[in-house]
Amino acid sequence: EFNIYGHDEL
């Protein structure tokens, strides 16, 4: 699971 348009990591 990757490439979400909000990235939860900083």
Partner 1 sequence: MNIFRGIADFSHLAAIIILLHKIWKSRSCAGISGKSQILFAIVFTTRYLDLLTSFISLYNTSMKVIYISCSYATVYLIYMKFRATYDGNHDSFRVEFLVVPVGGLAVLINHDFALLEILWTFSIYLESVAILPQLFMISKTGEAETITTHYLFCLGLYRALYLFNWIWRFYFEGFFDMIAIVAGLVQTVLYCDFFYLYVTKVLKGKKLSLPA
Kindly list the residues in this chain that would bind partner 1 in the complex (CB under 8 A).
1-3, 5-10
Cβ of residue 9: shortest distance to partner 1, in angstroms? 7
Cβ of residue 6: shortest distance to partner 1, in angstroms? 3
Strand blocks (E) in the chain: none
Q: Please identify which residue in the block is written with the tokens 């900083």.
A: 10
Cβ of residue 4: shortest distance to partner 1, in angstroms? 8
Gyration radius of the chain over CA positions: 6
The token pair at 4 is: 């979400």
